[in-house]
Amino acid sequence: MKELNAIRKEIDAIDDQLARLFEARLNLVLDVARYKDAHGLPVFDEAREKIVLEKGKNRIENPDFKEDFAVWLQQLMDLAKKQERELLSINTVAYCGVEGAFAHSAASRLFPYANLKSCSSFGKVFKAVINHEAQYGVLPLENSNSGLVGEVLDGLMNYPVYIDQVADVRIKQCLLGTQEADLSMIEWVYSKDQALWQSKDFLDALHVQTVPYPNTAMAAQYVAQTGDPKKAAIGAKENAELYGLKVLAENIESDSSNTTRFLVISAHENPKPGDHCGLLISVNSTVGSLAKAINVISAFGLNMDSLQSRPRKGHPFEYFFYVQAEGDLKGPNLEACMQALGPVCTIRRWLGSFSIRKEEEDL
């Protein structure tokens, strides 16, 4: 029988080899990620993983070790996918909608050199960020006329993300129809519900039927695909060129100062100081809890400029609040504030500090 120290030395030598091979394997994984990025291939290839696992098991001579090796190899591949996603996310920004959507335009302006990732829902933008498929996500939080985008507030509650920055952008709405259409022919108007509300006065005067659509650019796509001159969409002017439509009316928003506040979300807190900060809280049912929570926030030098309530899904008649305030909290002050909120809050979550930028050009 070998001496224990001798056995351990052999194990250490094998570990040295494993470490070098592990590093070499991950370097090759990053090469694979770059190739996939250049050729538009997905990170996960189920068929390839099955082949690798089967080959791996066949390389093991001792049948007692085959399944254990497959488990270890699967862990290696899971780590490889994580590395690939992190590499590919560095210059990727997710948004909800398709090209021509206001979120797409906002993302293009905020990140002019990024790869933009289209997502079919707000939830998928959040998932892209937390799964490291995108470094940032751009989402509309609120419009100065149509109000809060509730699904985005739900996402802030449900996903572990931070607010990296905020941008306020003036929005100009246009009515878009087919090339054969004119204003008198329109009977149905399609768009995002917020865009329909922002253009309510114009639509009321037009006496048309409004139909909510997932977003403005998709509505423009739909009208273009139908080719029906009785149908029109509300959206950005650039959608006319993108989808072969005609601008039937410009600046149809009821308020000329129509502005949307876009959030940039990240899986990591922005370490830079900001002039604003955000929190999510839900208070307990005792009398005066919300007032006490507001007083705590004020006591730490924060000037609250927005308090938005939203029902908690799965908790009937309970609400959570999005708090936005002027000022910043870092280090011990943040810990002290969270601790002080504890007695009156069932939920308290820090969303980070950020700056609010006012975009000079309209969308």
Contacts 24+ apart (CB under 8 A), 40-48: 43/81, 43/84, 43/85, 43/88, 43/133, 44/81
Both 194 and 161 in one domain: the answer is no
Structural domain contains residue 193: yes
Question: Under DSSP, is residue 348 helix (H, G, I), strand (E, B) or coil?
Answer: strand
Non-local (6+) Cβ contacts of 313 within 8 A are 154
pLDDT digits (tens, 9 = 90+) for 238-256: 999 999 999 999 999 998 8
Task: Report phi then psi at 184, rounded to 5.
Answer: -70, -15
What angle is formed at CA 363 by the lines to CA 142 and CA 146, rounded to 5 degrees? Answer: 25
Determine which of 35-44, 152-161, 228-237 has the lowest per-residue pLDDT on average. Answer: 35-44
Beta carbons within 10 angstroms of residue 273's beta carbon: 11
For position 13, which CATH number holds?
Answer: 1.20.59.10
Structural domain contains residue 180: yes
Both 199 and 141 in one domain: the answer is no
Please state the pTM of the whole predicted model: 0.72
Q: Choose the final residue of a domain: 89, 119, 150.
A: 89
Structural domain contains residue 108: no
Q: Are 280 and 185 in contact (CB under 8 A)?
A: no
Domain that holds residue 12: 4-89
Structural domain contains residue 104: no
Number of domains in the chain: 3
Both 134 and 60 in one domain: the answer is no
pLDDT digits (tens, 9 = 90+) for 132-163: 889 999 999 998 888 889 999 999 999 999 99
Q: How far is CA 238 from the centre of its chain?
A: 23
